[in-house]
A and B are shown apart, each in its own frame.
Chain A
């Protein structure tokens, strides 16, 4: 993975930069010791590592603004960091960059149940946003699988989704307002506790901009009352086509499940060995969850079971209570861990039209043989967001490169069938050089001029998202 050559002038001024930062932050909030900056050398895409020049941990918007102003004035690149759970390398530093971590900014500023929002500092973790409101029966809907650790700042940067977004949407659909610091230190407020912020939809533009337009320090998030209950049904099929048809039939029947999850045989086998969830050994396993009162759930599950039955399942199991529901979800929730027990893996998240599922799965199976690397598929079938997990051995020379080449072919296939490179993880560095597959030069130019407006000097997380060759001139300017 190519990264820009670090700016030698910045590297040589490390002491002055750190000294300036210490003027505006408490001393323990500026980390410059080389042993300690290693803690920030990578995110969850651990194949790539580079310690930053230094890391800062501001405690509020004013401190973030002061840091940004200094970096802007001194021409120092800044890489914002939530909790460092990005699978796309969104928080990977360059050697000449200041890591701006939001971890200290984790407080709840306001909760309002009448108007159904919560305002938080963005270092707060996704799950602890729900934690702050659940005693009142409320929750924050987007639920990425890293929700125990990931920060709202990162969720906004990557427009994170989750298993339940078929019904509740992703981050951008649940974000009402932000306080954001621009690269030059300017603080802007966009939106608020009202719906549909006025003027151009800058909120929608910022969500998913991968920390390249500004550092979001506070966020107003929509909260909802929890449903009365939720229960899943598990079904197994002998081939992907049938499972795909079941998904289509459920949706066409007018039922909107909160989640439709899919696992293929390699994934089921790994999961069974690891978590012993009692899953059937079959080609395609679906978990479909619906919400409501007990009677409402029964009624919806009855319709779903009828559809499932028509397609001759090898197994059909309805959760009658919370205990059975837990067992049905156990394997799915252990899937990534189970694959990790077998070997190192790379997790992709290309999205495809639901109708292309069987074809794409078949092609991935064929490519797996061509590349000689095993792959398991576990994904959100309702919205076509795939998660192929390619297994490789990080200690075997050439295996990572082979895995990346395989991954690139899968993502190109996703684009070919009408889908996209990434559904919820973001581009980061991982998919950066594939952007030309999905977008023509004019399409990328239209995105890059947006960054020109927010960060004219291209100092903020600037080595991400756009192919380096496409963005080089802007960074050099």
Chain B
């Protein structure tokens, strides 16, 4: 990620793909940062955008953000690890988020979680070894009126039962993407 020598014509970066990896998403992120005036207080906004583009925040990406906003890397890392929404490891193809809010909890969310853990063989916060599924928990997604709720690939699903979650998870794990 060193700035490339402008004197050598072969290494002059093209206008659309500034990042040496050739990944145009860095360019999109840079434009997004510029729209925020590269202001340092927009760090969380930019981390959101980066995670949306890349799925997770790896070291190279965090360093890129630090340089774009001219922030010390320690600051970017400190912020990225403070907020649980940000993930520094790759996520699986599918995500299953079991809501563990109070309403869901008193209606048996712990049993749902145990069911998914058993069906998938992973614990909350982990991803299966074939990268098919990431299992997460949420503190409360605010869907208490339809508790217990589970979010499958971003889709909130009401009144879940152990049977229903097992079916959903098994379908993902056995049949791959759909």
Partners in one complex: no
Q: Which residues of A contact B (CB under 8 A)?
A: none
Q: Which residues of B contact A (CB under 8 A)?
A: none
